[in-house]
Structure 1
Amino acid sequence: MDERLPARDRIIDAAIAAVRMRGYADTTVDEICAAAKVSKGSFFHHFRNKEDLARAAIDHWNRFTGAIFEQAPYQQDPDPLNRLLGYIDFRMAILDRPVEEFTCLLGTLVQEIYQTHPAIRTDCDDGMASHIALLMRDIEAAKAIYAPHADWDGGSIGYFIQSVLQGSFIFAKAQGDAAVVRSNLILLRRFIESLMSNPEHEEKRRRD
């Protein structure tokens, strides 16, 4: 924990790490305060309760991860299909980390609290939908070039991509490693390539 960070940021970082490793219910305010090196008085100065902290953590997570994907090297490729495949490759490149570090805070939270904390559930849904909306830009642009007459739309493919990821993360947690995620992402990449099956443009893309 970087003690140079403001107390509020340290609390959020500690909460994100704890929830990703142990879940929402098993993460206590006392544990968060200890990890963040703050007093409970400091905690309650910044947050009303654990749910208020969780919602702040979701907002921080969305902004932090959004910036990572927006600034990733694949974003510089002029071809939208290459950017889409680059997104999948980028996801694969971070799988050498511990399971709790490559899985998703939003997916972890919503699986646990979807019936008990509707405000957190809505925040998670909004965050995942915003991420899908970013993917849809490249999906729709690639479709216009490579599969203009296909009967699928960008939204359905965006949700499918995220469903593969979130489902794979569950198996990674169950099995304790990233092998199933890597295997599924390889298949996902092949599936996306098969959707964009315009031979003329595919040959040009590979030459470029």
Structure 2
Amino acid sequence: MRAFYAVGFHGTTVDAILETSEVPKGSFYHHFGSKEAFARAVLEQYMAFQLDLMGTWADRDDLTTPEKVEGYFDELVSNFVRSGFERACLAGKFSTELAASSDAFRIELNAGFARWKAGLAAMLSAGQENGDIRSDLPAAELATTVLVLLQGGFVLALSDHDDRSLESVRSTLATVLSPPRKRRV
């Protein structure tokens, strides 16, 4: 996974994968068949990690829904900053590198993002029922907005090695998710 973060799919060679994993070439090709199949398996593992992490925050009964979303986001940011601003979102990295050139990978990415959005939508829908997430927009639309903000914030932070764009995303999340305030007349 680190090689894909560091040099991308196209920059990662099968030999580099074999060297770090200490797996014989024949075993690699027997199990995966190709570098693309291996990368799709890595993507599947990465998406499972994201969904598990999000689920950990979603299951917290001691937090409001906005606090759950912010906690999840803060943990993603913390992991990214600890990586030296190098490991943002593997799904985003693969999307920019492979989605246009590989239908199989695009389909896999689309399915992964759909699961991610569905998990966010479930969390936000529960928040709408609790009254701590705005209900004037569908939870699915809010989930898409949250994911777009996350992805965009990490892309900017990757390019400038600065977490200010991520701080902006965090404050925007609160604004986007909060129920509209009633105006005083």
TM-score by length of 2: 0.84
- Residue aligning to 2:119: 134
- Residue aligning to 2:18: 33
- Residue aligning to 1:187: 171
- Residue aligning to 1:4: none
Structural mapping, 1:21-170, within 5 Å:
21-72=6-57, 75-77=60-62, 79-98=64-83, 99-101=85-87, 103-146=88-131, 150-170=135-155
Equivalent-residue separation in structure 2 for 1:160 and 1:123 (angstroms)? 21
- Residue aligning to 1:196: 179
Following superposition, the deviation at residue 58 of structure 1 comes to 1.5
Question: Is the 8 Å Cα contact of residues 121 and 139 (structure 2) preserved in structure 1?
Answer: yes
Change in CA separation of 1:142 and 1:71 when aligned onto 2, cut-off 3 Å: closer
Equivalent-residue separation in structure 2 for 1:59 and 1:148 (angstroms)? 30
Q: Amino acid of the residue matched to residue 174 of structure 1?
A: S
Q: SS state of the match for residue 75, structure 1?
A: coil
Question: Is the 8 Å Cα contact of residues 136 and 158 (structure 1) preserved in structure 2?
Answer: yes
Following superposition, the deviation at residue 78 of structure 1 comes to 5.7
Deviations 1:167-207 (A, max 9, x none): 122112211x24134322332233135x32467xxxxxxxx
Give the count of matched residue pairs: 181
Equivalent-residue separation in structure 2 for 1:87 and 1:33 (angstroms)? 33
Q: Amino acid of the residue matched to residue 125 of structure 1?
A: N
Deviations 1:105-129 (A, max 9, x none): 1110011111211111111111111
Following superposition, the deviation at residue 72 of structure 1 comes to 4.1
Question: Is the 8 Å Cα contact of residues 64 and 132 (structure 2) preserved in structure 1?
Answer: no
Runs of 4+ with >4 A deviation: 147-150
Change in CA separation of 1:74 and 1:198 when aligned onto 2, cut-off 3 Å: farther
Q: Amino acid of the residue matched to residue 71 of structure 1?
A: T
Identity %: 24
1:172 matched to 2:157: yes
5+ long unaligned stretches in structure 1: 1-15, 200-208
TM-score by length of 1: 0.76
Question: Is the 8 Å Cα contact of residues 62 and 127 (structure 1) preserved in structure 2?
Answer: yes
Equivalent-residue separation in structure 2 for 1:93 and 1:39 (angstroms)? 35
Equivalent-residue separation in structure 2 for 1:190 and 1:52 (angstroms)? 38
Q: Amino acid of the residue matched to residue 188 of structure 1?
A: T
Question: Is the 8 Å Cα contact of residues 171 and 180 (structure 1) preserved in structure 2?
Answer: no
Equivalent-residue separation in structure 2 for 1:55 and 1:198 (angstroms)? 44
Change in CA separation of 1:34 and 1:144 when aligned onto 2, cut-off 3 Å: same
Following superposition, the deviation at residue 28 of structure 1 comes to 0.8
